[in-house]
């Protein structure tokens, strides 16, 4: 079985480029194939390998060079095989006691990631399953650091002031979801309109925080983005950090997608202020090309973040005296059992070197710029947001609608055309996703439906960009022809 | 690199039995070896493979036949290589849209796990990183189902009644931690003393809930254990379920460790009532021998658990109409990015068959019974809890102290002897853990320090049990000799 699964893995890495990006299947056919009864007796190996092939064939291929949906990068082969060793050794990285070398490797890898964003050796952190868990944990630590009562014992205090979090309109959904999960409620999330580049407006933040204080609310946290999921916008981190400092707010940066771009020399000025954050989320399973799952929460000052949780009980009592040996990840995170996620980062960075990874990131950004150039050169396309990192948001505007928009002379007419364009681009996206040639997802930028390409893939070339844009045009024409027939 | 890592994995599975259970190292030596600077340039392959060997050598080996600490099972080779394919294919199992076949495989595997505990096709669920995350998610869903106000919007309501969770004194630490994280506070967790078999006392639960209601608190949830972490006690599930029903409480069962034993025919009566639970946690990375991480939360009634969270935003808008194709795991869990955890359960159950897995579980339970027999036959040992599943709690009592305890004629004297025994057994555990021959952890049973062996390992034989008990005796004698010298 080992031999056959290694063969399948090897074959997959070699052939992913030749597959359709998305399989030609329906929910029903997949269910018919896989929704079987519990296997009581062992099944023959051949049938298991057939299953594996069918699972591969029934998957969307995030590693395909024309997969541009969401923020989903391919794994390097090094990352895949690192996960084999992690599962073979099978430590649960709860603490030094339970996994001495793996725990040390995780602490070291976290220090490396901290150094990429300008943190020093006072920082601490831990790997999580992804950005949602890192953001949730950050808000939890922030709340406990800023709350004036014993939340661990009392809960979100009855009768206390409502504690407020400030975000831009471009914030990732995981932040309001975290506010919900933590019992703060979405009412505790103040959404500040973003500017015309979809960035956080520091002046509006300052004003909102002041207004809330006057109204007996207690501002405690601001979340900025170092690369929004919608358009890759990098907020003015230093400015936000300055407001945070003046208002005594915990400064969290969601850099799940974008923070690794701080490794690229030309990007450094844009990320100035990252190092001011009290906490930063950064997902190695995004722009460091490791397999899912691998997120990271970085905390600038270990002392300020120390033991926000109650982790009592004999079960986790560490019977050690040496400081290194009494370290436990459960003091900083929610999980107890923890996979050895650090190994794939360790081997990826050592096998390729940080410089080469930075080059791959820079190349992805180049691709997005190239895409934007092609879009701006084509009157049938409209670029909808500046390309700040490696996301390109645009829409298809057929000549007929383009003319109508120019001549539209009242609000209602313009609104109708706008709605028609939204519907058209949604249909283009949907058909393209199922077509299997190239995969785009979408973003809503204010009320505009954007086709969105997120390029975090070392396999993508300029030719892939060209094919993708050509597929948009073709798909639009197909839809038009169908409508007219 | 792939070839070499496959070789290392294969070698590890063949040699784990011959290794010391715990490496002869300190935090400092490990840090010296691994706490290096960020690798800017690629390192030679040989040096990476050396790192991997050093990581293996610097690990505790949960797969060793004499590793009995905590609840940490070995991975089967099938599970390890399944994880290779999961990381190669690298889907993020957020929804059907993002991973059609992997999402279906997860839903099917969850249905299989549900069927093991008597759930029918109305059940739903999802894989998590472990029991802590499954328990946290269960409490969150329970709270939202029972709260009478709009918690998602408002947060834990100001001025509302405090909502209470009932647990036994043997509850796993993840439950009070979850209450803390969710903003309920530990004051919301009412701890009911367990009975003399360390089981939940249903009558005391009934009374506590009534008292709290009279005091204007709002009981909403009870958490029972199908196998406590300390001693493997299985609570009287049907009785607790009955109280839960009468009081309108959400009934959650933490079966992270023990629930898979419901597969074993002779155990079925003991688990009667599992199927009554509104939710059950069950960790495949424990007694189904898959690699970490792999927990599972099962929910009896999909309709009752539907969308407890706010998951808004264009990013997760599913542009599908078919029901199967619009399924998303983010509607039930906290994570957005999710590893393809289902594959290792799928391949483990198909490769070995559920019957053989059940036999391995039964054998582990046999081993624990055998251990208890050896302990009861030896006057130097004292069994501290009945063996209900595969955990055996005991202590070493040297003849000298045993005699003194019999002749002790006042409370203070007995307390002093008790404290001395606690210290002695703690020292035995610590030295054994570092010795590398066999690994026990501990449990505090009331105020008694117990040496604790949790046997969830298909490699363990009776000879391993004998060697472990002999190592306890030898270690005790060593300590005695040192004290007298």
**How does the average pLDDT of chain A come out, rounded?**
94
What is the rounded CA–CA span in Å between residue A358 and residue A363? 9
In a domain, residue A50? The reply is no
What pLDDT band is residue B369 in, cutting at 50, 70 and 90? Answer: very high
Counting every residue written for chain B, the total comes to 485
Going by C-alpha positions, the residue among A300, A359, A363, A311 that lies closest to residue A333 is: A311
Residue A317's pLDDT is 63
> In angstroms, rounded to a whole number, what is the distance separating the alpha carbons of residues A422 and A432?
15
Contact state of A63 with B90 under an 8 Å Cβ cutoff: yes
In this model, does residue A56 exceed pLDDT 80? yes
Q: Which of B288, B319, B352 is the last residue of a domain?
A: B352
Q: Between chains, do B151 and A183 touch, taking CB under 8 Å as contact?
A: yes
pLDDT at A277: 98
What is the rounded distance in angstroms from the CA atom of residue A119 to the CA atom of residue A116? 7
Examine the pLDDT at A47 and tell me if it is beyond 70: yes
Residue A67 lies in a domain: no
What pLDDT score does B321 carry? 63
Instruction: Find chain A residues with C-beta within 8 A of B444's C-beta.
Output: 314
User: Percent of chain A, pLDDT > 90?
Assistant: 88
Provide the 3-class DSSP secondary structure of residue B222. strand
Which residue, of B322, B352, B382, is where some domain finishes?
A: B352
| Same domain, yes or no: B278 and B393 | no
Does the distance separating the beta carbons of A185 and B152 come in below 8 Å?
Answer: yes
Q: Best residue in A43, A154, A315 to probe B by mutation, most B CBs within 10 Å?
A: A315
Last residue of a domain, one of B352, B381, B415: B352
Residue A57 belongs to a domain? no
Residue A158, pLDDT > 70, answer no
Residue-level pLDDT at B308: 66
Confidence tier at A170 by pLDDT (50, 70, 90): very high
Nearest-neighbour CA in chain A from B427: distance (Å): 9
Contact A75 B87 (CB under 8 A): yes
Q: Do A334 and B136 touch (CB under 8 A)?
A: yes
- Chain A's closest residue to B114, CA to CA, is A38
Q: What is the pLDDT of residue A316?
A: 56
Please say if the pLDDT value at position B187 is more than 80.
yes
Please state which of the ranges A431-435, B305-309, B380-384, B444-448 shows the lowest mean pLDDT: B305-309
Closest approach of chain B CAs to the CA of A56, in angstroms? 7
Which of B22, B25, B84, B427 to mutate to probe the A interface, most A CBs <10 Å?
Answer: B84
Given a cut of 60, whether residue B310 has pLDDT beyond it is: no
Q: Tens digits of per-residue pLDDT, A431-463?
A: 999 999 999 999 999 899 999 999 999 999 999
CATH of the domain at B120: 3.40.640.10
Q: Count CB-CB contacts under 10 A for residue A482.
A: 9
Q: Is residue B158 part of a domain?
A: yes
B336: pLDDT confidence band, cut at 50, 70 and 90?
A: very high
Structure tokens at B223: 């958490």
Instruction: Determine which of B307, B337, B432 to mutate to test the interface with A (most A C-beta atoms within 10 Å).
Output: B337
Q: Do B75 and A92 touch (CB under 8 A)?
A: no
CA-closest candidate to residue A88, choices B345, B75, B456: B75
* DSSP 8-state code for residue B75: P
- Strands B391-396 and B441-445 come out as unpaired
β-pair partners for B167: B191, B223
Nearest Cα residue in chain A from B434: A97
Neighbour tally for A284: CB within 10 Å: 28
Collapsed DSSP state (helix, strand, coil) of residue B5: helix
- pLDDT tens digit sequence for B65-81: 999 999 999 999 999 99
C-alpha distances in angstroms, A317 versus A325, A330, B372, B401?
12, 11, 25, 26
More confident residue, B95 or B158: B95
Q: What is the pTM of this model?
A: 0.96
Asked whether residue B215 carries a pLDDT value surpassing 70, the answer given is yes
Residue B103 CA to residue B99 CA, distance in Å, equals 6
At which residue do the structure tokens 């582990």 appear? Answer: B364
Is B353 close to A42, i.e. CB distance below 8 A? yes
Band the pLDDT of B131: cuts 50, 70, 90.
Answer: very high
Q: Which residues of A touch B55 (CB under 8 A)?
A: 89, 101-102, 105, 343
pLDDT at A426: 97
Closest residue in chain A to residue B100, using alpha carbons only: A59
List of chain A residues whose C-beta atoms are within 8 Å of the C-beta of residue B6: 2, 6, 81, 84
Higher pLDDT, A198 or A324: A198
The minimum CA-CA distance between B407 and chain A, rounded to whole Å, is 30
Q: Is residue B4 part of a domain?
A: no
CA distance A39 to B331: 28
Q: Per residue, what are the HEC states of B311-360?
A: CCCHHHCCCCCCCHHHCEHHHCCCCCCCCCCHHHHHHHHHHHCHHHHHHH
Cβ-proximal residues to A206 (8 Å cutoff; 6+ apart), any chain: A243, A246, A247
Contacts of B358 in chain A (CB under 8 A): none
The answer to whether B197 and B385 are in contact (CB under 8 A) is: yes
A126 with A190, same domain: the answer is yes
Q: Cβ–Cβ of A90/B75 closer than 8 Å?
A: yes
Nearest to A59 among B1, B23, B102 (CB): B102
Same domain, B263 and B338: yes
The residue in chain A having the minimum alpha-carbon distance to the alpha carbon of residue B86 is: A80
Asked if residue B304 and residue B192 are part of one domain, the reply reads: yes
Chain centroid to CA A351: how far?
24
Residue of chain A whose Cα is closest to the Cα of B139? A181
Instruction: Give B-chain residues touching A153 at CB under 8 angstroms.
Output: 185-187
User: What value does the mean pLDDT take over residues A400-421?
Assistant: 91
Q: Are residues B129 and B220 in the same domain?
A: yes
Q: Which chain B residues are closer than 8 Å to A70 by Cβ?
A: 92, 98, 315
Quick check: A27 and B100 CB within 8 A? yes
Rounded to an integer, the average pLDDT of B191-203 is 96
A161 band by pLDDT with thresholds 50, 70 and 90: confident
Identify the CATH number of the domain in which residue B423 sits.
3.90.1150.170
The set of long-range contacts for B238-243, using a CB threshold of 8 Å and a minimum separation of 24, is: B238/B272, B238/B273, B238/B276, B239/B202, B239/B273, B240/B200, B240/B202, B240/B205, B240/B273, B241/B273, B241/B276, B241/B277, B242/B202, B243/B202, B243/B205, B243/B206, B243/B209
Q: Give me the pLDDT at residue B150, please.
A: 84
Per CB-CB distance under 8 Å, the chain A contacts of B25 are 100
The reported pLDDT for the residue numbered A34 is 96
Contact assessment for residue B155 and residue A187, using Cβ atoms and an 8 Å cutoff: yes
Q: Are A345 and A369 within one domain?
A: no
For residues B431 and B469, membership in a common domain is answered with yes
The answer on pLDDT for A211 being more than 70 is yes
| Residue A189 sits in the same domain as residue A121 | yes
Measure the CA dihedral A464/A469/A472/A477, to 10°. Answer: -120
Q: How many domains does chain B have?
A: 2
Identify the pLDDT of residue B324: 86
Q: Would you call A54 and B443 a contact, using CB atoms and an 8 Å cutoff?
A: no
Q: What is the nearest CA distance from B220 to chain A, expressed in angstroms?
A: 16
Main-chain dihedrals φ then ψ at residue B129, nearest 5 degrees: -75, -15
Candidates A104, A153, A185; nearest CB to B34? A104
Residue B5 counted as domain residue: no
DSSP 8-state class, residue A230:
T
Contact A325 B104 (CB under 8 A): no
Q: Is A257's pLDDT higher than 70?
A: yes
A268 within some domain: yes
Query: Which of B8, B337, B350 has its CB closest to that of A132?
Result: B337
Q: pLDDT tens digits, residue range A269-327?
A: 999 999 999 999 999 999 999 999 999 999 999 887 765 665 555 555 665 567 888 88
Flag if B55 and A89 touch (Cβ within 8 Å): yes
Residue B50: which H helix or E strand, with range? helix B45-57
Whether the per-residue pLDDT at B418 is higher than 80: the answer is yes
Token pair belonging to A430: 């949907």
Among B30, B84, B347, select the one facing A9 at the smallest CB separation. Answer: B84
Please give the Cα distance from A296 to A108 (Å, whole number).
Answer: 13
Within 8 A by CB and 6+ apart from B287, the residues are B73, B257, B258, B259, B260, B261, B361, B364, B456
- Contact assignment for A84 to B79 by CB distance below 8 Å: no
Are B170 and B281 within one domain? yes
Please judge whether B354 and A230 are an interchain contact, meaning their C-beta atoms are less than 8 angstroms apart. Answer: no
Does residue A64 lie in a domain region? no
Q: How distant, in Å, are the alpha carbons of B141, B280, B458, B483 from that of B250?
A: 9, 11, 35, 53
CB contact under 8 A, A59 and B89: yes
The least confident of A301-310, B35-44, B338-347, B444-453 is A301-310
Do A322 and A365 lie in one domain? The reply is no
Instruction: Test B355 with A40 for CB contact under 8 angstroms.
Output: yes
Q: Do B315 and A172 touch (CB under 8 A)?
A: yes
Domain co-membership, A123 together with A259: yes
Interface with chain B: mutation pick from A33, A64, A71, A181, highest number of B CBs within 10 Å:
A181
Q: What residue spans of A260-353 are helical by DSSP H?
A: 284-287, 302-305, 342-352
Kindly state the percentage of chain B with pLDDT values over 70.
Answer: 96
Instruction: Tell me how close the Cα of A207 comes to any Cα of chain B, in angstroms.
Output: 23
| Statement to judge: residues A200 and A325 lie in one domain | yes
Q: At a CB cut-off of 8 Å and minimum separation 6, what does B474 contact?
A: none
State residue A304's pLDDT score.
78
Q: What are phi and psi of B20, to 5 degrees?
A: -65, 145
Q: What is the mean pLDDT of residues A151-175?
A: 90
Query: Using 50, 70 and 90 to split pLDDT, how confident is the model at A408?
Result: confident
For residue A329, the enclosing domain spans: 83-352
Pairs of CB atoms within 8 A across A/B: 488
pLDDT over 90 at A406, yes or no: no
Asked if the Cβ–Cβ distance from B98 to A132 is below 8 Å, we say no
């Amino acid at each position: 079985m080992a031999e056959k699964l290694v063969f399948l893995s090897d074959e997959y890495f070699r052939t992913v480029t030749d597959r359709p990006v998305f399989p030609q299947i329906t929910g029903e056919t997949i269910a018919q194939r896989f929704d079987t009864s519990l296997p009581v007796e062992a099944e023959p190996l051949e049938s298991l390998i057939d299953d594996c092939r069918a699972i591969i064939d029934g998957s969307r291929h995030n590693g395909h060079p024309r997969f541009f949906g969401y923020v989903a990068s391919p794994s390097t082969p090094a990352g895949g095989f690192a996960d084999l060793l992690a599962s073979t050794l099978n430590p649960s990285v709860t603490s030094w006691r339970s996994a001495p070398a793996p725990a040390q490797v995780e602490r070291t890898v976290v220090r490396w990631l901290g150094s990429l964003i300008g943190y020093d050796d006072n920082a601490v952190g831990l790997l999580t399953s992804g950005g949602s868990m890192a953001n949730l944990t950050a808000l939890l630590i922030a709340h406990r650091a800023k709350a004036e009562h014993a939340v661990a014992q009392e809960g979100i205090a009855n009768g206390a002031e409502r504690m407020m979090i400030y975000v831009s309109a471009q914030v990732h959904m995981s932040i309001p979801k975290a506010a919900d999960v933590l019992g703060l409620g979405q009412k505790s999330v103040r959404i500040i309109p973003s500017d015309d580049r979809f960035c956080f407006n520091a002046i509006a933040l300052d004003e909102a925080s002041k207004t809330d204080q006057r109204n007996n609310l207690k501002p405690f946290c601001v979340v900025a983005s170092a690369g929004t999921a919608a358009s890759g916008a990098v907020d003015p981190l230093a400015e936000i950090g300055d407001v945070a400092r003046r208002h005594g707010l915990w400064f969290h940066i969601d850099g799940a997608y974008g923070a690794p771009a701080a490794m690229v020399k030309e990007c450094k000025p844009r990320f100035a202020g990252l190092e001011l954050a009290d906490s930063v989320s950064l997902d190695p399973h995004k722009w460091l090309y490791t397999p899912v799952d691998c997120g990271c929460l970085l905390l600038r000052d270990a002392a300020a973040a120390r033991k926000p949780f109650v982790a009592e009980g004999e079960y986790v009592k560490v019977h050690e005296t040496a400081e290194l040996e009494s370290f436990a990840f459960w003091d900083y995170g929610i999980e107890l059992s923890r996979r050895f996620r650090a190994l794939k980062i360790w081997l990826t960075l050592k096998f390729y070197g940080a410089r080469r990874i930075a080059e791959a990131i820079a190349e992805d950004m180049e691709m997005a710029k190239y895409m934007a150039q092609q879009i701006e050169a084509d009157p049938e396309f409209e670029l909808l947001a500046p390309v700040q990192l490696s996301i390109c948001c645009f829409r298809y505007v057929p000549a007929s609608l383009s003319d109508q928009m120019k001549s539209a002379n009242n609000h209602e007419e313009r609104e109708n055309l706008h709605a028609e364009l939204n519907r058209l681009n949604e249909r283009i996206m949907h058909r393209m996703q199922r077509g299997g040639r190239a995969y785009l997802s979408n973003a809503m930028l204010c009320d505009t439906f954007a086709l969105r390409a997120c390029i975090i893939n070392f396999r993508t070339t300029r030719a892939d960009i060209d094919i993708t844009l050509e597929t948009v045009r073709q798909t639009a024409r197909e839809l038009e022809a169908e409508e007219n027939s």
